[in-house]
Amino acid sequence: MSDKKLWSGRFNEPTDAFVEAFTASVEFDQRLYRYDIQGSIAHATMLAKSGILTAAERDAIIQGLETIQERIEQGEFNWSVALEDVHMNIESALTEAIGDAGKKLHTGRSRNDQVATDVRLYLRDEIEIIRAEILRLQRALLTVAEREAETILPGFTHLQTAQPITFGHHMLAWFEMLERDRERLADCNKRVNVMPLGAAALAGTTYPIDRHYTAELLSFDRPGENSLDSVSDRDFAIEFTAAGALIMMHLSRMSEELIIWSSAQFGFINLSDSFCTGSSIMPQKKNPDVPELVRGKSGRIFGHLMGLLTLMKGQPLAYNKDNQEDKEPLFDTVDNLKGSLKVFADMIPAISCHRENMRQAAMKGFATATDLADYLVRKGNPFRDAHEIVGKAVALCVEKECDLSDLPLEELQSFSCDIQQDVFGVLTLEGSVAARSHIGGTAPEQVRAAIRRAKARLA
């Protein structure tokens, strides 16, 4: 394959060797080869339909491109830095293979609309893969939620014991976070699935092309309305990375809880050995490396989002070489999202709960204090008065180093004569969670109902 640049006619001197390497993108954009060939086949098909290529030229181009794809996939294709990028490498190989017909492929297009099309085709496929991994993780969460629908643990605010909840309810909270992520990606795909091809360099082309036909061949919803915007827009990549940053933020929050819960100080859960590592010096250690690494990767994706925003903020219309810098952060975001979601979907079903540890923790910190206040409200006390009464009862418990349920009835009645024997039914952990029996509540029956609804949403 010749290393002669396909744009060299204007130039009298060769490109400086360092500049050639510095400006090349083929080392990372070669992953777009399948989409570049897919777009080129559609473009050639459209050119023939429009009378710009003959049927024989179209067939030679398509056969040549298919052969090049086979060579790439068999590891027999020589990528050249001198040819700059994936587009020039493939076009040069095509011309070498089929002659002048290969030189006609670029009629009516530019690398500017070509690369924008390739990236959109690539991202469209990756979004579906990522959404499928989110779905797999959601199903794993539902499995755990169903298994632990009655498992009680303390719910926290400010990382202080607040009220008892069920572990199944907590898993469903993670499910809802991911459901928003899945919906966001589907919505993002609407902006991704708009075709730039045919916008050419920036102003369109003088050839009688049929952009709607090309869009149909490539399964785009429509061609872009404005040629300037089509070649310079990277909103879709930024929007995807923003959605990716939210996914990683959610996974990071989950990671934080898994790390805390699996520590000896909490002892709520056990992570499978398959997702942990040991220490090189401390033989007793079992480190939650997978959630720690995912937590760390969130910052990496946040950085890519800021990098892409900064990349675009000062660019005038239309295409600028700056946009070569969009691919590495985008590719890295895709790779890390897929990896993080995959490992979570594999890890979550293997979690085992130390139910008694969870229960004992829920007994500390006066988790049923709000239940006592609600009990007093039902007896006719204004909530603020009930709040004060319970606060005084808690202060006594702190002094006596006991729980509210440990106080004898006589002592509880010293704070309010409305407190009767039936109070001990609401001061139990089971009574507390069972009382929250409404949609979105933590009662086991509501958790199971929420799981049924969630499964229906995923069907």
| Superfamily of domain covering 360-458 | Fumarase/aspartase (C-terminal domain) (1.10.40.30)
Please state the rounded mean pLDDT for residues 414-439: 92
Angle made by CA atoms 128, 35, 202, in degrees to the nearest 5 = 110
Domain range 8-107, CATH class: mainly alpha
CATH level 3 topology of 132-145+167-205+222-358 = Fumarase C; Chain A, domain 2 (1.20.200)
Is residue 13's pLDDT more than 70?
Answer: no
The domain ranges of the chain are: 8-107, 132-145+167-205+222-358, 360-458
pLDDT (tens digit per residue) in 292-330: 999 999 999 999 999 999 999 999 999 999 999 999 999
Question: Which residues are tagged catalytic?
Answer: 158, 279
Number of Cβ within a 10 Å radius of residue 28: 15
The pair of structure tokens assigned to 79 is 């990528």
C-alpha 101/C-alpha 107 separation (Å) is: 11
CA distance 324 to 26: 11
Task: Identify which of 317, 197, 209, 192 has the alpha carbon closest to the alpha carbon of residue 244.
Answer: 192
Which helix (H) or strand (E) segment is 197 a member of?
Answer: none
**Does residue 25 have a pLDDT over 90?**
no
CA separation, residue 407 to residues 177, 377, 435 (Å): 40, 20, 21
Count of H-run helices and E-run strands, the chain = 20, 6
Mean pLDDT of all residues belonging to the chain = 94
As given in the structure block, the two tokens for residue 106 are 């670029």
Cα separation of 283 and 387, whole Å?
Answer: 49
pLDDT in tens, 347-357: 999 999 999 99
What is the value of pTM for the model shown? 0.92
